[in-house]
Structure 1
Amino acid sequence: MAPITIGLSEQEESGPADRASADTQRALPLVARGARVAFAVVCSMFFLWALANNFNDILIKQFQKALDLTRMQSGLVQTAFYFGYFTFALPAGWVMNRVGYRNGLLIGLVLYALGALLFWPAAHVQAFGFFLGALYIIAAGLAFLETAANPLITVMGPASTAARRLNLAQSFNGLGAFVAPFVGGALIFSGVERTPAQLAAMAPAQVAAYRTQEALAVQLPYLGLGLLVLFLALVVRLTRFPAVDEPAQGDGGSLAAAPLLRKAVIAQFFYVGAQVSIWSYFINFAQDATRIGEMQAAHLLGYSLMAFMAGRFAGTALMKRVAPVRLLTLFAVIAAGLCAVAIMASGWTAVIALGLSSFFMSIMFPTIFALGVSGLGSKTKLGSSLLIMAIIGGAVFPPLVGLIGDHLHSLKTGMVVPLASFLVVAWFGTQAARAVAQERG
Structure 2
Amino acid sequence: MAGTSQTNVKTPASQEVTENYRGPLVTVTLLFFMWGFITCLNDILIPKLQQVFTLELWQAMLIQTAFFGAYFFVSLLYFILSITKGDPIRKIGYKNGIIVGLVVAAVGCVLFYPAASTLSYGFFLGALFVLASGITILQIAANPYVAILGPTEGAASRLNMTQALNSLGTTIAPIIGGYLIFGAVNAADTGADSVKMPYLGLAAALLAIALLIKASKLPSIQSSDEITPGAGALRYRHLVLGIICIFAYVGGEVAIGSALINFFRLPEIAGLEEAEAGHFLAFYWGGAMVGRFFGAIALSNSKNTTGKYAVMGGIASVVFVLLFTAYGLNEALIVLGLIALNFTVLLLGRFIPSKTLGYFSATVVVLLLITSFASGAVAMWAVIAIGLFNSIMFPTIFTLAIKGLGVHTSQASSLLVMAIVGGAIVPPLQGAVADITGNLQISFLVPLVCYLYIMYYGFAGSKIKDETL
Smaller-chain TM-score range? 0.7 to 0.9
Partner of 1:306: 286
1:130-154 residue CA offsets vs partner (Å, 9 max, x unmatched): 3322221121011110111111111
1:335-364 residue CA offsets vs partner (Å, 9 max, x unmatched): 233233333345554443333211111111
Counterparts of residues 412-423 of structure 1 (less than 5 Å): 412-423=441-452
Counterparts of residues 282-301 of structure 1 (less than 5 Å): 282-287=260-265, 290=270, 292=272, 294-301=274-281
Tell me: CA distance 1:265–1:57, structure 2 relative to 1, closer, same or farther (3 Å): same
| Aligned partners of 2:93 and 2:220 also within 8 Å | no
Counterparts of residues 163-242 of structure 1 (less than 5 Å): 163-189=156-182, 213=190, 215-242=192-219
Q: Could you tell me how far 1:388 is from its partner in structure 2?
A: 0.9
User: Is 1:263 equivalent to 2:241 in the alignment?
Assistant: yes
Gaps of 5+ in 1: 13-27, 192-209
Structure 2 counterpart SS, 1:79: helix
Structure 2 counterpart SS, 1:245: coil
Q: Could you tell me how far 1:259 is from its partner in structure 2?
A: 0.2
Structure 1 counterpart SS, 2:173: helix
Q: Could you tell me how far 1:190 is from its partner in structure 2?
A: 6.1
| Aligned partners of 1:109 and 1:230 also within 8 Å | yes
1:88-120 residue CA offsets vs partner (Å, 9 max, x unmatched): 125456432321111111111112122223333
Residue 241 of structure 1 aligns with an amino acid whose one-letter code is: L
Tell me: CA distance 1:185–1:303, structure 2 relative to 1, closer, same or farther (3 Å): farther
Partner of 2:70: 84
Counterparts of residues 120-159 of structure 1 (less than 5 Å): 120-159=113-152
Deviates more, 1:210-219 or 1:348-357: 210-219
Deviates more, 1:42-51 or 1:343-352: 343-352
Residue correspondences, number: 403
Partner of 2:454: 425
Residue 390 of structure 1 aligns with an amino acid whose one-letter code is: A
Partner of 1:204: none
Partner of 1:316: 296
Residue 131 of structure 1 aligns with an amino acid whose one-letter code is: F
Aligned-pair identity (%): 37
| Aligned partners of 1:81 and 1:395 also within 8 Å | no
Partner of 1:361: 390
Structure 1 counterpart SS, 2:190: helix
Q: 1:339, 1:385 → 2: CA distance? A: 30
Q: 1:121, 1:37 → 2: CA distance? A: 37
Residue 454 of structure 2 aligns with an amino acid whose one-letter code is: V
Q: 1:216, 1:397 → 2: CA distance? A: 34
Partner of 1:99: 92
| Aligned partners of 1:181 and 1:298 also within 8 Å | no
Match of 1:39 among 25, 44, 50: 25
Tell me: CA distance 1:74–1:285, structure 2 relative to 1, closer, same or farther (3 Å): farther
Tell me: CA distance 1:330–1:189, structure 2 relative to 1, closer, same or farther (3 Å): farther
1:43-68 residue CA offsets vs partner (Å, 9 max, x unmatched): 11011111122222343455555545
Q: Could you tell me how far 1:238 is from its partner in structure 2?
A: 1.2
Gaps of 5+ in 2: 301-349
Q: 2:112, 2:418 → 1: CA distance? A: 25
Match of 2:424 among 386, 389, 395: 395
Deviates more, 1:176-185 or 1:102-111: 176-185
Q: 2:26, 2:373 → 1: CA distance? A: 43
Residue 98 of structure 2 aligns with an amino acid whose one-letter code is: L
| Aligned partners of 2:6 and 2:407 also within 8 Å | no
Tell me: CA distance 1:303–1:4, structure 2 relative to 1, closer, same or farther (3 Å): farther
Partner of 2:335: none
When normalised by structure 1's length, the TM-score is 0.80
Q: Could you tell me how far 1:81 is from its partner in structure 2?
A: 1.4
Partner of 2:9: 6
Match of 1:386 among 415, 418, 433: 415
Match of 2:101 among 108, 114, 122: 108
Deviates more, 1:272-281 or 1:81-90: 272-281
Residue 265 of structure 1 aligns with an amino acid whose one-letter code is: I
When normalised by structure 2's length, the TM-score is 0.75
Tell me: CA distance 1:127–1:420, structure 2 relative to 1, closer, same or farther (3 Å): farther
| Aligned partners of 2:154 and 2:299 also within 8 Å | no
Tell me: CA distance 1:81–1:149, structure 2 relative to 1, closer, same or farther (3 Å): same
Tell me: CA distance 1:372–1:409, structure 2 relative to 1, closer, same or farther (3 Å): same
Q: 1:189, 1:300 → 2: CA distance? A: 21
